[in-house]
Amino acid sequence: MQTISTTEALARFCEAAKAQPYVTVDTEFLRERTYWSKLCLVQMALPGNEGQAVLVDPLAEGISLEPMYDLFRHPGTVKVFHAARQDLEIFFVEAGVFPIPLFDTQIAAMVCGFGEQVGYETLVKKIAREALDKTSRFTDWSRRPLTEAQLTYAVADVTHLRVIYEFLSKELVKSGRTSWVEEEEAILLNPETYITRPQEAWMKVKTRTSSGRFMAVVRELARFREGYAQARNIPRSRVYKDDALLELASTKPTNYDDLGKSRLLLREARRGDIADGIIAAVKAGMDCKPEDFPKIDAEAAQLQVNTALADLLRVLLKAKSEEAGVAAKLIASSSDLDRIAAGKRELAAMQGWRHEVFGADALRLARGEIALSARGGAVRVVPVG
């Protein structure tokens, strides 16, 4: 195990990696005190039990990660991650780069029948037949120097990953499902997955009220909070939390005295820049014309769901996912099933490999062409008529 703290040493390793069929990669980062994740450590390992494993210190003085990003662009070496989304977000925000080609072992494991969102520790135990020491899991990775135990913990996240990757990639080739994984990974490699636009932030705020005026204020408060947090690189909860945002949308404060009466607003948000931003956001929401109110997903709200059919679809999905050895969540979500039961057909569950595994029979069930029969612990599809 080598710790790399210079650009030159990183370049040597990355050049060696370009000659290999794959390299395993993981990161350690902090996000508790910032909006954007702070990259603190990168772990990489080359193939084989004796393959070189390194820890890259991005906090080392003078180091440039460009050799690593150049490796990420190299098409001849597969970059292997487990649950890559947060790692990819860091690289996209830091350098506008994605590791291509990519292989995500969590997605592959879901396709290979290891369950939904299976953890790395589980795969290490089941595939590599090893146990992980997780005592350093809650390390502050920004502190230096790191202990030997912390370094050992970090490198284990890429050394066992080699065995897992080789096993899962062979299983996918045998089953002919490599393209299934690639379809899911395409979402991870889409920049839109990682872009949060302040004007769209309101869509992530959960509320039971759908009044146009109320939602207009929610939109403006969420827009201000997101922009403020991004500009200052602080967590959005440090500006105000969702419950405070909804309180503000209800009380509609117009001055500092009104803000002082809030039960949920942080004390430091009742004066100064945040307070001014809140008051301006509330005013913008109140001044919004009805035709410019946020467009709620009216289709979802008005769905006429056949609840009996939705329940049958859930049984069918469970049976089909077990038969195919694929995590049910990867095939269709609960909301997908409700939409199918309401007559909707333009869904991912009805396309590509999902249509083959589940969608075709889901349509037949909805049309009354098949029924479900239980025998023992198994559910069977039975033609009708």
Domain count, the chain: 3
Give the model's confidence band at 145: pLDDT under 50 very low, under 70 low, under 90 confident, else very high: very high
Q: What are the angstrom distances between the C-alpha of 127 and each of 49, 171, 183, 272, 338?
A: 14, 12, 24, 55, 36
Q: Does residue 121 have a pLDDT over 80?
A: yes
Q: What is the percent of the chain where pLDDT is above 90?
A: 89
Q: Does residue 299 have a pLDDT over 60?
A: no
Give the model's confidence band at 134: pLDDT under 50 very low, under 70 low, under 90 confident, else very high: confident
Q: What are the angstrom distances between the C-alpha of 87 and each of 17, 40, 58, 64, 93?
A: 19, 12, 14, 18, 10
Q: Residue 335, by phi and psi: left (phi above 0), alpha (psi -120 to 50) or beta?
A: alpha
Query: Do 36 and 10 share a domain, yes or no?
Result: yes
Q: Does residue 297 have a pLDDT over 80?
A: no
Domain boundaries, position 188:
2-194
Query: Do 273 and 323 share a domain, yes or no?
Result: no
* Cα–Cα dist 271/277, whole Å: 10
Give the per-residue pLDDT at 107.
97
Give the per-residue pLDDT at 295.
85
Average pLDDT over residues 35-47: 97
Q: Hey, how many other C-beta atoms are within 10 angstroms of the C-beta on 231?
A: 10
> CATH number of the domain that 92 lies in?
3.30.420.10
Query: Do 225 and 289 share a domain, yes or no?
Result: yes
Average pLDDT over residues 80-90: 97
> CATH number of the domain that 370 lies in?
1.10.150
Query: Do 70 and 153 share a domain, yes or no?
Result: yes
Average pLDDT over residues 44-54: 91
Query: Do 241 and 346 share a domain, yes or no?
Result: no
Query: Do 144 and 8 share a domain, yes or no?
Result: yes
Give the per-residue pLDDT at 50.
77
Give the per-residue pLDDT at 316.
96
Q: What is the DSSP string of 144-179?
A: SSPPHHHHHHHHHHHHHHHHHHHHHHHHHHHHT-HH
Residue 25 β-bridge partners: 44
Query: Do 288 and 338 share a domain, yes or no?
Result: no
* Cα–Cα dist 362/282, whole Å: 46
Average pLDDT over residues 53-74: 98
**Could you say which of 166, 194, 222 is where a domain stops?**
194
Tens digits of residue pLDDT in 246-291 = 999 999 999 999 999 999 999 999 999 999 999 999 999 999 999 9
Q: Does residue 173 have a pLDDT over 90?
A: yes
Give the per-residue pLDDT at 362.
96
Q: What contacts 229, CB < 8 A, 6 or more positions away? A: 35, 235, 236, 238, 239
Give the per-residue pLDDT at 137.
78
Query: Do 84 and 170 share a domain, yes or no?
Result: yes
Q: Does residue 300 have a pLDDT over 60?
A: no
Look up residue 287 and give its amino acid.
D
Query: Do 21 and 170 share a domain, yes or no?
Result: yes
Give the model's confidence band at 103: pLDDT under 50 very low, under 70 low, under 90 confident, else very high: very high
Give the chain's radius of gyration (CA, Å): 25
* Cα–Cα dist 100/189, whole Å: 8
Average pLDDT over residues 162-168: 98
Q: Can you list the positions of beta strands (E) in 77-217?
A: 78-81, 102-104
* Cα–Cα dist 190/343, whole Å: 29
Query: Do 18 and 166 share a domain, yes or no?
Result: yes
Give the per-residue pLDDT at 223.
98
> CATH number of the domain that 214 lies in?
1.10.150.80
Give the per-residue pLDDT at 375.
82
Give the per-residue pLDDT at 117.
84
Query: Do 29 and 149 share a domain, yes or no?
Result: yes
Query: Do 126 and 275 share a domain, yes or no?
Result: no
Helix H or strand E segment including 383: strand 378-383
Q: Does residue 135 have a pLDDT over 70?
A: yes
Tens digits of residue pLDDT in 301-331 = 567 889 999 999 999 999 999 999 999 999 9
**Could you say which of 144, 172, 194 is where a domain stops?**
194
**Could you say which of 247, 270, 296 is where a domain stops?**
296
Give the model's confidence band at 1: pLDDT under 50 very low, under 70 low, under 90 confident, else very high: confident
Give the per-residue pLDDT at 217.
98
Q: Phi and psi at residue 24, in whole multiples of 5°? A: -90, 145
